[in-house]
Structure 1
Amino acid sequence: MRDEDLKNQEKMIVVRKVGADEYSLIEISSGDIHEFREKGIGDVRNGTIILRPVELVYLSITGYRVIVDGNEMNVDELIKDVKNPHALTVYLDMRKRGYFIKPVTNGPVDFLVWDKGKSPVNSSPRYMIKIVTEGLGIQVMELLNVLKYSESMGAQLVLALVSSEGVITYYKAFTFKPVKGG
């Protein structure tokens, strides 16, 4: 294949649904797997890359043809598999701002986020995001537990308050330790 043919080749990703909100990577356009790892897209599990619905939506928006179980899916079809639309809003907003962000499936936070320019491959996340929906809020004890968790992991907790209109406001949360003496 000539270089020109490679440039014109469509970006494509082929996945198989393996769980309620997990997809196993079967095939990807050549060379993109390293780029995915550098950008924090997907998790490696048992030698297979697992993708989440928000990641597939993002890939579709950025120009990938997404094939799920043999059927090509457009953005609207992929969005139907996203259980929390606020999570998609936050994920896409952080990607647009230039951050690398990974969904967390089991844990007190919703996302891990790396500083701009830091690779998820060889650095730790700088922030942990907890989504708070307008009108629902968060209980104080839950907030304290999430805060304690993020600080124990060496990350800054960020609350993503999502309004009913989908507007996101980010708040950094931290514990205040007064200095003794004076």
Structure 2
Amino acid sequence: MTKTTNKEGRGMRRFVVVEGEEPPYRLVRIEPMSTEELAERGIGEGGDNGYYLNPMELIYLALNDYEVILNGNHVGIDELMKHVGNTQALTVYLDMRGRGYFIKPIRGPVDFLVWDKGKDALRTYPKYAIKLVTEGSGIQVSELLQVLRYSESMGLQLVLALISTEGVITYYKAFTFKPEKTTAGTQTTIL
């Protein structure tokens, strides 16, 4: 049983109770946090009939000393890993959380939205969009341009997370640039 100490020095259980047959799982209860605190940290998402957490978020909570109870049963990280579709995405998720960023997995042309360090995910807009790129698989130029246009249209800085076959992550910022003409109109400067 996982415990933390409250203000009075007494032990207090840290747990998250979720239910559902497949991800995302509906949150039943979390102690000692609230759903608003989760949302401020970019963990989980409100939806029809409740607040929902995906397996990556539950693994993150488990790694931070929360007991995870799924459908009445205590589950460990190994069991939660069975429900993670992309272990490379989990690696990036945990790495960015470890660096102090709030990160949210999404479905779309990019894989994650990321808030700057210390920003409230409820009251601020994300700063970065992350696209996973696997070493050996790469990304087609047309797809990269589509993702770049999407990110820039949303006002986000695109970051490519290149994941090596050894699991090492290297982050690259991607952006478009437009040549600027000088006042003479004859020279072009690329920034």
- The bucket for the TM-score relative to the shorter chain is over 0.9
Q: What is aligned with 1:11?
A: 14
For 2:130, the aligned partner's letter is I
Aligned to 1:33: 35
What is the Cα-based RMSD across aligned positions, in Å?
1.6
Alignment of 1:32-181 (within 5 A): 32-46=34-48, 48-104=50-106, 106-180=107-181, 181=185
- Greater Rg, structure 1 or structure 2? 2
Q: Is the 8 A contact 1:15 1:27 kept in 2?
A: yes
> Is the 8 Å Cα contact of residues 19 and 26 (structure 2) preserved in structure 1?
yes
d(CA) in 1 for partners of 2:21 and 2:179? 49
Q: Which has the higher helix share?
A: 1
Is the CA contact (8 Å cut-off) linking 1:18 and 1:24 kept in structure 2? no
Q: Which runs of 5+ in 1 are unaligned?
A: none
Runs of 4+ in 1 over 4 A off after TM superposition: none
Aligned-residue identity in percent: 57
How many residues are paired up?
178
For residue 23 of structure 1, what is the aligned residue in structure 2?
A: 25
TM-score scaled to structure 2, two decimals?
Answer: 0.88
Q: Distance in 2 between matches of 1:115 and 1:45?
A: 24
Deviation at 1:85, TM superposition (A): 0.4
For 1:141 and 1:53, how far apart are their aligned partners in 2?
A: 31
Partners of 1:171 and 1:162 lie apart in 2 by: 11
Give structure 2 stretches of 5+ with no counterpart.
Answer: 1-5
